[in-house]
Amino acid sequence: MQLSVRTSRHSYFIVVEEGALDRLGAELRRARPEAGRSVALVTDSHVGPLHAARAEAALRAADFAVTTQTVPAGENSKSLEQAGALCEAFAAAGLDRHSTIVALGGGVIGDLAGFAAAIYHRGLAVVQVPTTIVAQVDSAIGGKTGVNLAAGKNLVGAFHPPVLVLTDPALLATLPRRAWCEGFAEVIKHGVIADRAMVEELAAAEPRDLTALVSRNAAIKARIVQADEFERGERMHLNFGHTVGHAIEAAAGYGGLLHGEAVALGSVVAARLSVRNAALPAEDEALLHAALRRFELPLRLEGAAAEVGDDALLELLRRDKKFKDGRIRFVLTRRLGSAFVSEDVTEDDIRAALAAVR
């Protein structure tokens, strides 16, 4: 399957196909006929040993000269230091503005390599080759790149849309079970805001046709970011479950809960708020729970995260930039498959809805 995404700068294709990794070089030639010979492949210490050799071979087969940069796996690599180190490595490898960066990995690599590509020589073409569910259905699409600061996640970044997203669902086969399940929090989120039937299907069974599922989700994300590239309207719907999710993630301490697990809990709270404030039917709330449960995602705060009180969560929420004068812009749903931004959610509403995860 192939989708096209229009941005304010250029249009690009998202190719979703099993085995697509072996066509990386040919697809890069097609997407960017003017590309110079040199390519930097950026990957991490988990993905590199599994999949980099095939990516390199595919690039060399199309007459590209490849240098590979491998950074330590994990969120800590999303730093200014690591972005700087990549830029130094690009310079040492002789990359110039005709060169191409290829990001082979999950969202960490996509965001980091995308950001390094955005700033090196004031912007080099980047190809995203996503290898996690999160990256294939979400982070590789839409052009947001960036790194973290001690003060918070994604505080430094740039809009830098890729010239190509090459998605090979077969690469997901090497994901550990927990990382696989985590990704479905974002898939279910897409269902909540745009595709009720998908939530029903996921609640009933794990997907059999991964390529179809990834394509369906890539299409949802692509449609939304194309309609609202700079997040002035509909793109905000993608934050469903993320407002409270981020607070829970921070409260649990990064590393305690995976991002998708925190988003699952945030979705449970957002659904309860939707029942209270937007008349979401209880059967829709139950359907969301069933889908999350299917992928072993948490519905209640457990362990260290359960020790965090409502006051502490509210305090974290108040730091959210969407919070103003005791009210917060909150993504709610009146019926699964649709979403809207409410301006009327109060702290008391949130306190009451937090009971859903206690």
Ligand X SMILES: NC(=O)c1ccc[n+]([C@@H]2O[C@H](COP(=O)([O-])OP(=O)(O)OC[C@H]3O[C@@H](n4cnc5c(N)ncnc54)[C@H](O)[C@@H]3O)[C@@H](O)[C@H]2O)c1
Q: Quick count: other Cβ atoms within 10 Å of Cβ 291?
A: 26
246 is catalytic: yes
Within residues 172-191, the interface with ligand X by CB under 6 A covers 172, 174-175, 179
Tell me the C-alpha distance between 127 and 137, whole Å. 15
319 is catalytic: no
Choose, from 144, 190, 272, 289, the residue flagged as catalytic: 144
Q: Confirm or reject binding of residue 138 to ligand X (CB under 6 A).
A: yes
Q: Confirm or reject binding of residue 217 to ligand X (CB under 6 A).
A: no
239 is catalytic: yes
Query: Which residue's CB is nearer to ligand X, number 129 or number 354?
Result: 129
CA 16 → CA 132, 161, 169, 219, 334, distances in Å? 13, 17, 7, 10, 32
* Residue number closest to ligand X, CB atom: 107
Q: Confirm or reject binding of residue 135 to ligand X (CB under 6 A).
A: yes
The residue from 171, 219, 252, 278 that contacts ligand X (CB under 6 A) is 171
Between the CA atoms of 343, 348, 353 and 355, what dihedral angle is there, to the nearest 10 degrees? 170
Stretch that binds ligand X, among 53-61, 104-112, 241-249, 329-337 (CB under 6 A): 104-112
Q: Confirm or reject binding of residue 168 to ligand X (CB under 6 A).
A: no
Q: Confirm or reject binding of residue 107 to ligand X (CB under 6 A).
A: yes
231 is catalytic: yes
Query: Which residue's CB is nearer to ligand X, number 15 or number 129?
Result: 129
242 is catalytic: yes
CA 330 → CA 60, 229, 277, 333, distances in Å? 48, 19, 11, 10
Within residues 20-79, the interface with ligand X by CB under 6 A covers 44, 46-47, 50, 73-75, 78
Choose, from 75, 200, 201, 231, the residue flagged as catalytic: 231
Choose, from 242, 272, 277, 289, the residue flagged as catalytic: 242
Query: Which residue's CB is nearer to ligand X, number 252 or number 354?
Result: 252
The residue from 17, 40, 118, 142 that contacts ligand X (CB under 6 A) is 142
Footprint on this chain of ligand X (rule: CB under 6 A): 44, 46-47, 50, 73-75, 78, 105-109, 111, 131-132, 134-135, 138-139, 142, 144, 153-154, 171-172, 174-175, 179, 259
